[in-house]
Amino acid sequence: MRIATWNVNSVTARLPRLLAWLESAKPDVLCLQELKCTTEAFPPEVAELGYEVVAYGLGRWNGVAIVSRAGIEDVRRGLIGEPAYEDATEPRAIGATCGGVRVWSVYVPNGREPGHAHYEYKLRWLEALHATAVAESADERPFALMGDFNIAPADDDVWDISLFTGSTHVTEPERMALKVLREAGLRDVVPRPLKYDRPYTYWDYRQLAFPNNHGMRIDLVYANAAFAGAVTDAYVDREARKGKGPSDHAPVVVDLTR
């Protein structure tokens, strides 16, 4: 079974690339983030390739979806105790069971900068993610949180940590939220490096970041023992970041024995 996650940075703008990638990579399940479209406006072309689709979006700067050719059951939109930002609950998390595997597509708030209201919202949102993960990973079925966490777990997951001092994505409270997930029994499924020694998943569009590999590993897979123990391979598909008009993120692909 092949399960992947990808922040597509607008499913409409990236649709030709998404369709081509689905046909070439052939994932059984794909978690998507940053749809930038409403639930109803999710492109029907994905379903025409034989995938079932569940989406959750309002057409603004977020939105998540799961597409599957392994079935979709027990869909849940939103987290347990999920906080609002500026009196609105943003579409940032959707869960479903696909072929016996429970997956969540998550798009963690950016946080903007420490001390900002959005940063405090990010930390509260991560608390709700933890509560949901604890509740949903209690049984023995394979379970994984997959998506854009907007957190680099360690200094090595940033191309130059000295440039991020005092910035979001690397602060102690953000990383502590990941540690709490690990303490709850979830494992960080780290992709194997392909071209470089670090499996970065995001590169800014500016200053030739991708050709220079000035990236970050912020698209993560946090899985329980049943999921992590079934992993046979995990990698970042850098090819999907190349060419004209890509997302600034690359897909993370995980193969399971199931």
The pLDDT of residue 60: 80
- 56 in active site: no
On whether the CB atoms of residues 255 and 28 are closer than 8 A, the answer is: no
The pLDDT of residue 96: 98
On whether the CB atoms of residues 136 and 96 are closer than 8 A, the answer is: no
The pLDDT of residue 130: 98
What integer is the mean pLDDT of 2-7? 98
pLDDT at 258 over 80: no
What whole-number distance in Å separates Cα of residue 65 and Cα of residue 34? 9
Catalytic residue among 121, 202, 219, 249: 249
pLDDT at 124 over 90: yes
What whole-number distance in Å separates Cα of residue 94 and Cα of residue 211? 33
Residue ranges of the domains in the chain?
2-256
Options 3.40.190.10, 3.50.40.10, 3.60.10.10, 3.40.980.10; CATH for 2-256 is 3.60.10.10
Read off the pLDDT band of 203 (50, 70, 90): very high
Catalytic residue among 119, 130, 148, 169: 148
pTM as predicted: 0.97
- 188 in active site: no
On whether the CB atoms of residues 198 and 192 are closer than 8 A, the answer is: no
pLDDT at 197 over 90: no
- 235 in active site: no
34 labeled binding residue: yes
Read off the pLDDT band of 61 (50, 70, 90): confident
183 labeled binding residue: no
The pLDDT of residue 26: 98
Read off the pLDDT band of 205 (50, 70, 90): very high
Read off the pLDDT band of 138 (50, 70, 90): confident
7 labeled binding residue: yes
Read off the pLDDT band of 76 (50, 70, 90): very high
148 labeled binding residue: yes
150 labeled binding residue: yes
Q: What would the pLDDT profile of 153-174 be if each residue is shown by its tens digit? A: 999 999 999 999 889 999 999 9
Catalytic residue among 51, 107, 200, 222: 107
Helix axes 117-136, 172-183, angle to 10 degrees: 10
Question: What's the chain's average pLDDT?
Answer: 96
The pLDDT of residue 193: 84
